[in-house]
Amino acid sequence: MAERIPTGDHFIEADVIRWKEAVFKPRRKKGRAVKLGDRVVVAEILRQDREWVYLLVRHCELVSVTTGRLDRQVPLLQKGMETKRKRNTIACGKAERLPWSDENVRSVIASKFLGMRGAPKGGRI
């Protein structure tokens, strides 16, 4: 399998990223959230804005389950499901991305000077 590249929160659309996230049981009124366990998510970035990243889940697996007095089941994300996460959540999970077949193309797309993202609105340079 291909070597993964640590990315933190520097990723672009069409990247396939992997990160680890904690799963908590929903709270009721005034209670402390209970950690159910951890899961690793592999997803493709569909689109993003400043705060949110919209993802298409490719794979999800259970890493650990927190033990306690009650049985705990960690819900896994279904393959093909669209979801969103805050950029900071992904960055805290030590995100890694798959390398592109041509990294030069990715660097042009990701560049704020050469890619479409950095083009001025007036059309002049």
Question: Could you tell me the mean pLDDT of each successive run of 10 residues in the chain, 125 residues long?
Answer: 78 89 83 86 92 94 81 86 92 88 79 54 43
Q: Where are the domains of the chain?
A: 5-100
**pLDDT of 2:** 67
Task: Report DSSP letters for 83-108, one per residue.
Answer: EEEEHHHHHHTT-EEPPPS-HHHHHH
pTM for the whole thing?
0.78
